[in-house]
Amino acid sequence: MMVTPPAPDSALIPAVGATPAPAGSNADWTIPQDWESYSQEEHATWDRLVARQKEVLKDRAASAFHRGLESLRLSHAGIPNFERLSERLSALTGWRVVAVPGLVPDEIFFRHMAQRCFVAGRFIRRPDQLDYLQEPDVFHDVFGHVPLLSDPEFADYMQAYGMGGLKALGLGALKYLARLYWYTVEFGLIREDGALKIYGAGLLSSFGESQFALRDPSPNRIAFCLERVMRTNYRIDDYQKSYFVIESFEDLRRRTADCDFAPLYQRLADMATLEPQTVLPSDRLLPLSREQ
């Protein structure tokens, strides 16, 4: 049965073309995936990445990620066809996946998310770039992000984030919301059955950091606090110094949905920014389980 998503407030969504799209793109910055153009080597690279990462994540990833992989058939051979993938995903949570030429402007990114549309790069890294790539590719975007969009609570959180992003642009508060995205959607941890698990796409798609985040004693693993997260800078050039841990996707969605962000942004403007390695007296640090 097709899921009907909650309708976003159209007044919050900039008109298509608010930022001119590059040549060859539609006004909303989408492009054809052109799935038939992928080479045999590119499909083989996807298969190699998926096989390697599935083994690493077997006991490390959130259960919702594993369920999403199976229900969306993302571990099947070859780079997924976005049209077929969107059919399966839309039937579960109303989300779709569309191709874009690369990183898109903030208002375009948020606009798509507010309409339950996930933008993904169509290119895949070369075989000599398996361990690190600066710009997100189809493996990061689809393998890392899309499985959790099949979870109803996380799917709602992501749409709410897109709508919140459009508001933050108007309030000049984007840096605070970017930190929330970084420490949840990209590098978040969740506690399941007393153990810490990975749900952030930056971790799920990283061979090295997916192991570091749950094995190395050096990073802080801090119980999630919205204001604390939005005060904290992050690293883009190295493994994270701190990870924030949620109790459930329902709890994450509720905490953000029930918050009035405008006064929060005003309070944050008067607070000192925290460096990634900072530990506050009020922080609740969570230990790893013995098995990890």
Residues involved in catalysis: 140, 145, 186, 205
Q: 222 and 244 in contact (C-beta within 8 Å)?
A: yes
Residue keyed to tokens 């948020």: 110
Characterize 185-214 residue by residue with b for buried, 16 or more Cβ atoms within 10 angstroms of its Cβ, and e for exposed. bbbbbbbeeeebbbbbbbbbbbeebbeebb
Phi, psi of 195 (to 5 degrees): -115, 150
Contacts of 71 (CB under 8 A, 6+ apart): 88, 92, 150
Is residue 82 within a helix (H) or strand (E), and if so which, with residue range?
A: helix 82-93
Cα separation, 56 vs 52, in Å, equals: 7
Paired with 30 in beta bridges are: none
Q: 222 and 228 in contact (C-beta within 8 Å)?
A: yes
**What's the angle, vertex CA 257, arms to CA 115 and CA 67, rounded to 5?**
65
Cα separation, 187 vs 214, in Å, equals: 12
